[in-house]
Amino acid sequence: MASYFKTGVNAMGKIFLILVFVASLYGEIIGGVSAVVKGEAITMADVKREMKLSKSDSAQAVNNLIRKKLEEIEIKEKRITADSSEVYEEIKKSAARNNMDVNQFYEAVRNSSGLSSDELKESIKHRILSQKLHASIAYSHVSQPTDDEINEYFELHKKEFNHPNAFDVVIYQANDANRLKKKVNNPMFYAPDIATNEQTLPYDRITPELANILNQTEVGTFSQIMANEQGGYMTFYLKGVQGEGSASVDMVKNEIINKLMDNKREQVLSDYFAKLQQNADIKIIRLP
């Protein structure tokens, strides 16, 4: 820096003015920046959005965003890509899991989250890229659980595998999803175009997907709105549950394997990015 300075009051004055000008510009630039990760900025708006989405404080939100930013940088450096056909295939699978065609799925996502089809595609592309990155990192570090690990997990988490013997529900169906949304928001709302059907659904007679949805629905509330087989929409009002069933370790072995593999994978990824974060050039400027 010393070689750039010249003697003389005028020269020093000019340099001082330039430095003040640059400093003021820098102040304006970082005014909306919370952190810089390897030269890439995390803005205050990003942090506030993450706080809202993850329901976390500012420090945790910044940590989440640093992890995401490191993932984005790793994806670029490792030249991991996802083309439009992969994205569309994932959308088709998601639609099929919800008993919808692609157009119905776009509409359902737009109604529930406000995401446009282009925003949904971009979100799914990011998820595919992250999955590929995670797979490349964890591939050689995650081994299949042993029988002892499976049995130990089952004994420690038996209650996780208990489930109701049956669900008492009222099924509401309509051709228009918005009509069902009105019903969900106001249970006293009545419309002749909304069909109702009260049933008891035995746990072992419904699909695992529906069982999971009903398990996550609180008694006295509605489930999410989903497509039905007739091209319309339906929601389940959970009146109550009957009894409680338990599973043997053999019945839930595959589920336990998946949980253990997920735990191992997450530990590998957590260690990997913690080390990456420790060695990366990261500057925390300020928190909201």
Confidence of residue 4 (pLDDT cuts 50, 70, 90): very low
For residue 133, pLDDT beyond 90 = yes
CB 220 within 8 A of CB 137: no
Confidence of residue 234 (pLDDT cuts 50, 70, 90): very high
Mean confidence (pLDDT) of the chain: 84
For residue 9, pLDDT beyond 90 = no
Q: Where do the domains of the chain lie? A: 84-138, 163-242
Which amino acid belongs to residue 111? N
Specify the DSSP class assigned to residue 110: H
Residue 223: what pLDDT?
93
Q: What is the phi/psi pair of residue 216, to 5°?
A: -90, 0
Question: Which of 5-9, 138-142, 186-190, 256-260 is predicted with the least confidence, judged by mean pLDDT?
Answer: 5-9
Report, as an integer, the average pLDDT of 241-269. Answer: 89
Residue 100: what pLDDT?
80
Distance separating alpha carbons of residues 172 and 197, to the nearest angstrom: 7
Residue 265: what pLDDT?
93
Architecture (CATH level 2) of domain 163-242: Roll (3.10)
Residue 160: what pLDDT?
83
Residue 288: what pLDDT?
67
Residue 158: what pLDDT?
87
* 91-115 pLDDT, tens digit each: 998 888 777 888 888 888 888 778 8
CA 268 to chain CA centroid, nearest Å:
19
Residue 95: what pLDDT?
85
CB 236 within 8 A of CB 217: yes
For residue 25, pLDDT beyond 70 = no
Specify the DSSP class assigned to residue 223: -
Q: Residues with Cβ < 8 Å from 244, sequence gap 6 or more?
A: 162, 163, 164, 165
Distance separating alpha carbons of residues 271 and 273, to the nearest angstrom: 6
Report, as an integer, the average pLDDT of 6-14. Answer: 44
Which amino acid belongs to residue 67? R
For residue 169, pLDDT beyond 80 = yes
Predicted model pTM:
0.59
